[in-house]
Amino acid sequence: MSEIRENFTTYIQNLQNKICSALENVDGKQTFREDPWERDGGGGGRTRVIEKGDVFEKGGVNISTVHGELPDPIKNHFNVKEGWFWAGGLSLVIHPLSPMVPTVHANFRYFELYEDENMQSRTDGWFGGGADLTPYYLWDDDAKHFHSVLKDACDKHGEDLYPAFKKQCDEYFYNSHRGEARGVGGLFFDYLRPDDKRSLHQWQQFTEDAGDAFIEAYLPIVKRRMDEPFDENQKYWQEIRRGRYVEFNLIHDRGTLFGLKTNGRIESIFMSLPPTVRWDYDFQPAAGSREEAVLNILKNPKEWV
């Protein structure tokens, strides 16, 4: 195993432990169920899910390290005739019970390609990941906090990174069929290969710093909003917006599609889906409402810091 693969595997294992402990402490009722699994064809993972908590209605913090021969659709995507891969990463989605607390997603991953099944000689390798926030009711201070913490993590590695990766996030987490963003963004980066500015090891450090920033970016928002009162109509709006979340994950999300095309574990892949969701026909929020205000932001992404 390459040094980067080995170190990153240890990193995501430790990060999973830290994030799960922090979320359990906030919820106060439920703990994560751990579900180790093995993948037919090579590798496996450790799925952790929390459900029916006082704060978190459903959430998952998953890690996996999988390897094997690339399926034909992925070979075509990478434009290779023969190819083997190793992919390791952490992926999480947290769906709070209260519509006043935003849903959050994050992913931090590393991918390697090889010419033969021994997987010793790397032909390509890159990092990817990011984090994004999906509020149902928006306080500007929450979005500013989330973006500020992520920007600080980026700025340690160059002030060019946050503007680029914030823009990529706005463009990626976008339901083009709806003409609206999934949420208020954050960071999205992919295919971080060695270039004239940064080595692969430096991209690794950047990715790990972004991962380490997640708890500070998200949990203060949860603690500020978890005791806000809400009613049935506001819960209904949350479920309407969760429908848009499902649409993105099943239509556009690269990680979901990669997992399905590489014989991934279905329960772990669909962990990202919320427990209750609605698709009302032609639902429109009331004019001048807080719901409409959120929708207007999603149709016109803005700068938060």
Residues recognised as catalytic? 105
Q: What is the β-pairing status of strands 103-114 and 56-69? A: unpaired
Contacts of 53 (CB under 8 A, 6+ apart): 27, 28, 29, 30, 97
Backbone angles phi, psi at 186, to 5 degrees: 160, -115
E strand segments, the chain: 33-38, 43-51, 56-69, 84-96, 103-114, 122-134, 174-175, 180-181, 185-192
What string of H, E and C letters represents the secondary structure of 42-69? CEEEEEEEEECCCCEEEEEEEEEEEEEE
59, 42 in Cβ contact below 8 A?
no
DSSP designation for 251: H
The SS3 assignment for 297 reads helix
Name 72's bridge partners. none
Q: Do the bridges between strand 43-51 and strand 56-69 make them parallel or antiparallel, or are there none, so unpaired? A: antiparallel
305: helix, strand or coil:
coil
Q: Which phi and psi angles does 153 have, rounded to 5°?
A: -65, -40
d(CA 69, CA 41) in angstroms, rounded, equals 8
